[in-house]
Structure 1
């Protein structure tokens, strides 16, 4: 089968790979219909390289069941599914408590076992979530980043009528977060990014205020649009070492900050920002992964429901649809940043 394999930093190859086979009674083989490129994929391509050289890459996908093990009951041949990428290579205290996202054995496909940038993938049946016929495969491939956002929001105290600031609003996580906080009942959403084209998309997806942080005093504009109080909740979705420090200045006293983005670099917090945690008595939530009990969790069932109801717009987020063979080329274009890239969907 065709596949994209990551061999090293900026070394991804379109090659042949062996088709997966059923190895246990609970295994399912899925024909991948759509696979998304994640921001973490870009960082690993640019900076870190693979866990295992030559591993089939990718972890955001949807597809159709083509074969199922004899013990599988939740899906059947022909079912349309979204794939939860979280797999486990052991059990520990947190796993046994059902806190799967905290387990040290929590890993993702594309890391230590074959991923979704391929024609076929094999996963345990519990990792497959049925999707309705009305939901496109491309949209369902965004189910995974959606669940990352939801997992973080479920950890917060977000409530109806809140003002929410989304930092890194132009990325997939940010654009999904803008829509999800509206579903949660946020009264005002302030979108912050450094790209005007992406801020325009944020506006179309429901942001009430947009701020280019390279051109405006972000803290001052937030004050202006929050009756001088700042945001009840700040969502850090950029994964930037710079914004990971600045976000503490955007929350109101007694407010909170939730971290969704992964800063691939050391974070240095200036005294001004750090004192906001203390003097404003902020609550800070870390968020990791996208699963809960019963596995894979309400992050997935709720995403399916609201995607199917049309409450989450994915068409504005997807900017490129390409054949899998274009993978090496598009990753290099992502490095060049000469054109607007949102979510890139690869079709095996």
Structure 2
């Protein structure tokens, strides 16, 4: 079986492995991977952190076809089109007992301590399998997991129809946040980035106003657009130490800031930005993972629902469709900024 295995920092290898998954538990489901995407967290682990387990098969955003199911699996059979929720929770800690599954003390995903989806086949428990309606193709379904991450964060806010939202950072999470803000009823969505290509895609997927903050501060431009008031909800999706400080100035008095990006570095907040938390009485929200009770959660149902109805456009976000064997080179190119990359999908069937 062909797989991408992570051995160390910037040491990703395309290998033929004998570790093809087999049914071990009565609720196991084996899926033939049709499409699998690169997540921003994959890039951070590749570039900065290294694997949890040396040589682990990487990847967790995927879609595919069921090839085999354990004897206690009902409602699934070989040939079914599916996606997968890649997350495992313990079910025993205090958070799990309260139904707050995303706060599980032992939360983990495939590709970390369990073999992931950068492979020809992947295995998950039946409760992690997401059946696909006919309207959702494999490319779109590979984006269900990142979409669920975004809507998990949006559910944490109190955004109401007619409200205003600013999305800081127009990578894949930011572009999905633009769309979910519209689905939640936002009247005006501002998309902020320093890359005109990303801002163009943001406008294509629904942003009303795009702001390039490379020339003038995002704060100055947004205040000019809002009469000095700011917006109801700010989404930090860039995962940058700089933007993680700046977002506090974009919310209106009594507004909300929700963090979806992970900076992987210290965040130094200048007095001007920090005082906005206090003087504007902001609500600051963290958002982690994409699951809730009952597992996997309403995030997944909502995503499939809106994808099936064409209300989530992920096709315009996909810039590369590649052979899985190209993985090591592509990861290297992305982290070294050798080319322009949006969402990258691999197709294990290509060999």
**Structures share fold, TM-score greater than 0.5:** yes
Deviation by residue 1:17-69 (Cα, 9 ceiling, x = unmatched) = 22101111111000011000001111111111100110000010111111001
Q: CA deviation at 1:262?
A: 0.8
Matches within 5 A, 1:127-142: 127-142=128-143
Indicate the residue corresponding to 1:199 in structure 2: 199
Is the contact between residue 83 and residue 129 of structure 2 (CA under 8 Å) also seen in structure 1? yes
Q: Which runs of 5+ in 2 are unaligned?
A: none
Gaps of 5+ in 1: none
Q: 2:61 matched to 1:60?
A: yes
Alpha carbon RMSD of aligned pairs, Å?
A: 1.0
Decide which moves more: 222-231 or 43-52: 222-231
Name the CA distance, whole Å, in 1 between partners of 2:145 and 2:294: 17
Deviation, structure 1 residue 77 = 1.5
TM-aligned CA distance change 1:74 to 1:245, over 3 Å: farther
- Cα deviation for residue 269 of structure 1 reads 1.0
8 Å CA contact retained: 1:260, 1:286? yes
> In the alignment, what sits opposite 2:218?
218
Cα displacement (A) at 1:197: 0.9
Distance between the aligned counterparts of 1:340 and 1:102, measured in 2? 35
The CA distance in 1 between the partners of 2:27 and 2:98, in whole Å, is 22
| Equivalent residue number for residue 98 of structure 1 | 99
Three-state SS of the structure 1 residue aligned to 2:263 is: coil
Structure 1 runs, 4 residues or longer, greater than 3 Å off = none
Cα distance in 2 for residues equivalent to 1:283 and 1:335: 33
Q: Is the 8 A contact 2:193 2:211 kept in 1?
A: yes
Q: TM-score, normalised by structure 2?
A: 0.97
Q: CA offset at residue 90 of structure 1?
A: 6.4
Q: Distance in 2 between matches of 1:238 and 1:155?
A: 18
- Deviation of the 1:89 alpha carbon: 5.2
Distance 1:337 1:311 in 2: 31
Q: Does structure 2 retain, via aligned residues, the 8 Å contact 1:117–1:324? A: yes
CA distance in 2, matches of 1:185, 1:211: 21
Does the CA-based 8 Å contact 1:197-1:340 persist in structure 2? no
SS at match of 1:316: helix
TM-score by length of 1: 0.98
- In structure 2, C-alpha distance between the alignment counterparts of 1:27 and 1:212, rounded to whole Å: 47
Check conservation: 1:56, 1:116, Cα contact below 8 A. Answer: yes
Query: What's the CA shift string for 1:186-219, capped at 9, x where partnerless?
Result: 0101100111111111111111111111112211
1:148-199, CA deviations, whole angstroms, 9 ceiling, x for partnerless residues? 0000000000111111000002x00000010111011101011001111111
The equivalent of 2:124 in structure 1 is 123
Secondary structure at 2:158's aligned position in 1? coil
8 Å contact 2:90–2:96 — kept in the other structure? no
Stretch of structure 1 that moved more, 275-284 or 337-346: 337-346
Q: Figure out how many residues of one structure are paired with residues of the other and give that number.
A: 347
